[in-house]
Chains A and B, each alone.
Chain A
Amino acid sequence: MPDRTPIENYNYSVFVGADDFLSFRTLLPVGSLAPDCEVKLLETGRPVKLSEYWKRNDVLIEFGSFT
């Protein structure tokens, strides 16, 4: 699926309500493999791959922000 979010628009300064709820349904259907992305632990800044978690346990991932 083409990425229509240029880097400079990702961290938008003005909410315009353009969230694409429809594409979400087809992007990663249930049954497909979860993308093994790298993120940073808040506590230490250590990089970690998501698969480190699901290797050991079933993992519930919630996305969010302070606002």
Chain B
Amino acid sequence: MGEVPPLAQLYEKYRNKGFEFLIIYVREAHPGENFPHHASFDQKMIHAGKLRELDKVGLPILVDDFEGSTHKAYGLLPNMVYLIDRAGVIVYKSDWTDAHELDGMCESLIRLDDMKARQVPIIRKGVSERLHWIPMDPRHRERIYRRSGEKAIKDYFNARGHLPYATDAEKERP
């Protein structure tokens, strides 16, 4: 699912605290008859416009080129997220957007600025790795896939062996 989860609340919280939030529009993750794969850059711009309009996305939307150059450079995943500091250094990356984690990371950067301002010596930059768990709302997910078209649902089923909004119980059923 390449759909952009709402980051609106986080954006409101941090946009005046030295952060910019951007969405980079990439290929359709689940092309369907209503929203097919992009056949041209113009079509990509139109689809990005629909994201703005139908999902009421208030964040700046930047559109990647037709070949997906930016998408490729950053790892080709459908809904990844990066946090980049003012030196252009990647300080956080995730293979899926998790607003709770992002909240914590933004706070960390604010804390870092505060430490620097108070000239607290920083002994080293540590690195963490973690797992995270993405909850799914089946109704919401069904709406997203149906919006793309029946083909999106069918292709997902062929790829995964179950419907995109199947609950664990439904996946168990033979």
Contacts and interface: CB of A to CB of B under 8 A. Distances in A.
Given A15-B155, A36-B88, A67-B144, A62 B23 contact: yes
B23 A64 contact: yes
B75 A33 contact: no
Interface in A1-39: 3, 5, 7, 10-17, 19-21, 23-25, 27-39
Contacts of B51: 64-66
Interface size class of chain A, counting residues whose CB lies under 8 Å from the partner chain: 35 or more
Contacts of A34: 82, 84, 88-90
Nearest to B40: A11
Contacts of B93: 24, 28, 30
B35 A66 contact: yes
27 contacts: A3-B72, A10-B27, A13-B36, A15-B29, A16-B159, A20-B77, A21-B95, A24-B76, A27-B74, A27-B75, A37-B74, A39-B62, A40-B65, A55-B86, A56-B20, A58-B83, A59-B22, A61-B81, A62-B81, A63-B74, A64-B3, A64-B4, A64-B51, A64-B97, A65-B26, A65-B78, A67-B3
Given A21-B77, A64-B29, 20 more contacts: A5-B68, A10-B71, A12-B31, A17-B159, A19-B77, A27-B74, A28-B93, A34-B90, A42-B48, A56-B20, A57-B19, A60-B10, A60-B82, A62-B24, A64-B4, A64-B24, A64-B25, A65-B26, A65-B27, A67-B1
Interface of B: 1-4, 7, 10, 14, 18-32, 35-39, 45, 47-52, 54-55, 59-93, 95, 97, 102, 106, 109, 125, 127, 144-145, 147-148, 152, 155-156, 158-160
